[in-house]
Amino acid sequence: MLHEQHDLTCGVGESVTIGDDLCVKVLEIHDDHVRLEFSSSRATPSSWEEILYVQPSEAEYELQVH
């Protein structure tokens, strides 16, 4: 099964909801990493944080998450 890829732009404090229940909120943006909060009423724990390290792309302010 193939999934479509979508590009989203979010700033600090903004969030996006994926599906019915998963919410991803941008907590911090740094040069080399992004801190995200994930929340879901169906998951245990219902809220958790992740730090994703990024590598600058060729575009000036665009980041690619690996």
Per-10-residue mean pLDDT of the chain, 66 residues long, equals 75 90 91 88 82 66 50
* Within a domain: 20: yes
Residue 26, domain member (yes or no): yes
This prediction's pTM? 0.68
Total domains, the chain: 1
Q: Tell me, what's the pLDDT at 59?
A: 47
Within-domain flag for 43: yes
Residues 6+ positions from 18 with CB-CB distance below 8 Å: 24
> What is the chain's length?
66
Domain containing residue 43: 15-65
Within a domain: 58: yes
Q: Is residue 50 in some structural domain?
A: yes
